[in-house]
């Protein structure tokens, strides 16, 4: 599961010895710099920036993992990788990069995206500066402080008579179905967001909402909050825009499913295991 590892300590400034080798999380666009290793891929490790020919657009100290300092860096999206290395998206690295490192990479990607998109004050347009005492960017002209963004997204697994509701969005890979999900609107509770999304997307009513789990989803800065629910009423009908198909599926007749890295996959596996 994609999450910040328990052994990671977020920090604003390096605490330890300057000679300690650093884990470098280097991004070009949304892709992480890796090299092949015996059992998957690994990150560059060096006590100083190891790529003199690779100019960085920004660097951020993240904290420490197992006592080892972790730095994030961003390079131009079009720059070729150093010899023997390559840039890969985090989804593609699932199960190939160590899970703890992938969790820190997810953290790094979100902070870099936030830092890149908050260079200027959203209120008065003045260039912002990083704060030394907290993870924030500050405008010295008007005093506005910007913190890393998180966008809450609800996801819901709806079950009716032992069958699970799965739906297909036009952007999904061919044959893939997933659970209903949507952004929480300003002022809404999570429960209201679920009732609204389910009604909007498939025209049904649900009840007996139960919290299931949450997961960070760094594309670009979502927090997925998953619930289970039961069908209450209404006739299944997709909106034809956000969704192109939806249906009830038995656990032994599931269609193509989303990545095992996703919250949807966990919820669907839990359903299949519980009804087996």
Q: What is the closest distance, in whole angstroms, from the C-beta atom of residue 143 to Zn ion in the complex?
A: 7
Q: Which is nearer to Zn ion, 89 or 127 (CB)?
A: 127
Q: Which residues contact 107 (CB under 8 A, 6 or more apart)?
A: 4, 8, 10, 62, 216, 218
Instruction: Give the separation between CA 97 and CA 25, rounded to whole angstroms.
Output: 12
Binding-residue pattern over the window 111 to 140 for Zn ion, x denoting contact by CB under 5 A: ----------x-xx-x------------x-
Q: How far is CA 74 from CA 21, 41, 60, 112, in A?
A: 19, 19, 9, 7
Binding-residue pattern over the window 46 to 65 for Zn ion, x denoting contact by CB under 5 A: --------------------
Among 144, 169, 213, 223, binds Zn ion (CB under 5 A): 144
Q: What is the closest distance, in whole angstroms, from the C-beta atom of residue 12 to Zn ion in the complex?
A: 22
**Residue 142 touches Zn ion, criterion: CB under 5 A:** yes
Direct distance between the N- and C-terminal alpha carbons of the chain, in angstroms, rounded to an integer: 23
Number of residues lying near Zn ion (CB under 5 A): 8
* Tokens standing for residue 10: 């977020």
Beta bridge partners of 41: 36
Q: Which is nearer to Zn ion, 22 or 139 (CB)?
A: 139
Q: What is the closest distance, in whole angstroms, from the C-beta atom of residue 116 to Zn ion in the complex?
A: 18
Q: Which is nearer to Zn ion, 125 or 256 (CB)?
A: 125
Rg (CA), the chain: 21
Using DSSP's 3-state secondary structure scheme, residue 142 falls into coil
Using DSSP's 3-state secondary structure scheme, residue 10 falls into strand
Binding-residue pattern over the window 6 to 35 for Zn ion, x denoting contact by CB under 5 A: ------------------------------
**Residue 93 touches Zn ion, criterion: CB under 5 A:** no
Is there a cis peptide before residue 15, judged by omega within 30 degrees of 0?
Answer: no
Q: What is the closest distance, in whole angstroms, from the C-beta atom of residue 132 to Zn ion in the complex?
A: 18
**Residue 199 touches Zn ion, criterion: CB under 5 A:** no
Instruction: Give the separation between CA 61 and CA 226, rounded to whole angstroms.
Output: 31
Binding site for Zn ion (CB under 5 A): 121, 123-124, 126, 139, 141-142, 144
């Amino acid at each position: 599961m994609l999450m910040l590892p328990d052994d990671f300590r977020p920090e604003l400034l390096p605490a330890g010895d300057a000679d300690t080798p650093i884990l470098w999380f280097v991004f070009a666009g949304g892709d992480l710099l890796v090299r092949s290793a015996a059992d998957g891929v690994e990150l560059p490790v060096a006590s100083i920036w190891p790529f003199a020919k690779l100019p960085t657009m920004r660097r951020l100290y993240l904290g420490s993992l197992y006592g080892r300092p972790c730095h994030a860096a961003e390079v131009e999206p079009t720059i070729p990788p150093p010899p023997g290395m390559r840039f890969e998206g985090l989804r593609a690295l699932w199960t190939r990069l160590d899970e703890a490192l992938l969790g820190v990479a997810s953290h790094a990607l979100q902070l870099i995206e936030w830092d890149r998109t908050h260079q200027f004050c959203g209120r008065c347009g003045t260039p912002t500066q990083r704060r030394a005492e907290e993870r924030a960017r500050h405008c010295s002209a008007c005093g506005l402080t910007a913190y890393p963004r998180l966008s809450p997204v609800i996801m819901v697994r709806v079950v009716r008579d032992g069958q699970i509701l799965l739906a297909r969005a036009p952007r999904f890979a061919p044959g893939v179905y997933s659970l209903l999900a949507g952004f929480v609107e300003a002022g809404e509770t999570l429960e209201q967001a679920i009732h609204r999304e389910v009604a909007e997307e498939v025209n049904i009513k649900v009840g007996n909402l139960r919290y299931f789990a949450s997961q960070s989803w760094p594309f670009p800065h979502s927090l997925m909050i998953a619930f289970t629910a039961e069908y209450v009423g209404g006739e299944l009908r997709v909106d034809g825009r956000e969704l192109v198909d939806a249906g009830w599926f038995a656990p032994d007749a599931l269609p193509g499913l989303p990545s095992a890295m996703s919250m949807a996959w966990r919820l669907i596996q839990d359903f299949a295991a519980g009804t087996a």
